[in-house]
Amino acid sequence: MKLRYSAASPYVRKVMVTAHEVGLVGQIQTVPTDVWGTADVQGDNPLGKVPALVLDGGEVLFDSPVICEYLDSLHSGAKLFPAAGGARWRALRQQAQADGIMDAGILARLEGNRKDGEKSAGWIQRQKAAVARGLDVFEQAVAELDGPITIGQITLGCAIGWVNFRFADDRVLDKRPALAAWYAKFSARPSMVATVPKG
Ligand SMILES: N[C@@H](CCC(=O)N[C@@H](CS)C(=O)NCC(=O)O)C(=O)O
């Protein structure tokens, strides 16, 4: 399998953490892809985004929830996507909430990178407020993160890691002590240590 890859992308990191956790990382060949500098990724993903996973037969899977669930289907160990019931919906909701934190954070960053006169302070503030609310809800319900590792925890770990990477000055964990304690433990997992964002 070939993975369209960027070392700075939190969505790519989700896929890589998943691959580490399920023992498949050795089967994935990463293809460094600069989505802003070249258009070649569009041949694999018409949306022009990473991650995109090119299967050995040529079929391409995107986006990160789909790729992660596919990888989880390839092994017979404990599943990261619970099969059914409340555990499944909780993990999927946590994944959506943490993906949304990434989405809003990236919108804020892209807006902040626009030229003076083009960028909207109001838009940046709106997106950062969404990040803050998403993190607050995790802080208030941190006990829901107990238990076996799921795609919800992986996505949250990657979301916090990316926010800390790109918005270090915001120190988002300083006012969220329960989440800070959870993240300190989760980010020590070998899968997280092996995939720290760069770029
Ligand atoms: N929902 C997608 C989001 C992927 C995404 O936005 N990736 C960014 C990199 S962090 C990208 O490729 N952006 C290029 C663009 O939007 O043109 C996923 O979960 O995989």
Average pLDDT over residues 6-10: 97
Q: Is the CB of 7 under 6 A from ligand 1?
A: no
Assess whether pLDDT exceeds 90 at residue 26: yes
Which residues 6+ apart lie within 8 Å of 145 measured at CB?
Answer: 94, 138, 152, 153, 156, 182
According to the model, what pLDDT value does residue 38 have? Answer: 85
Alpha-carbon distance of 53 to 45, in angstroms, equals: 9
Across the strands, what pairs with 52? 4
Whether 158 is in the pocket of ligand 1, judged by its Cβ within 6 Å, is no
Domain spanning 85-189 has what CATH number? 1.20.1050.10
Q: Which of 17, 35, 69, 97 to mutate to test the pocket of ligand 1 (most atoms within 8 A of CB)?
A: 35
Q: Is 4 in the pocket of ligand 1 (CB under 6 A)?
A: no
Q: For CATH 1.20.1050.10, list the domain ranges present in the chain.
A: 85-189
Q: Has residue 199 got a pLDDT over 90?
A: no
74-130: pLDDT as tens digits: 999 999 999 999 999 999 999 999 999 999 999 999 999 999 999 999 999 999 999
- CATH of 2-73, picked from 3.40.50.1970, 3.40.50.1820, 3.40.30.10, 2.130.10.10, is 3.40.30.10
- How much is the pLDDT for 159? 98
- Rounded Cα–Cα distance for residues 45 and 184 (Å): 34
Q: What is the pLDDT of residues 149-184, one digit of tens each?
A: 999 999 999 999 999 999 999 999 999 999 999 999
Q: What is the pLDDT of residue 119?
A: 96
CATH 3.40.30.10 in the chain is located at: 2-73
Residue 7 CA to ligand 1 centre (angstroms): 13
Ligand 1 atom closest to the CA of 51, numbered from 1? 20
- 27-62, pLDDT tens digit by residue? 999 999 999 988 899 999 999 999 999 999 999 999
Residue 145 CA to ligand 1 centre (angstroms): 25
Token couple for 69: 């669930």
Sheet holding 52-54, edge to edge: 29-32, 2-5, 52-54, 60-61
Dist. CA 98–CA 105, nearest whole Å: 11
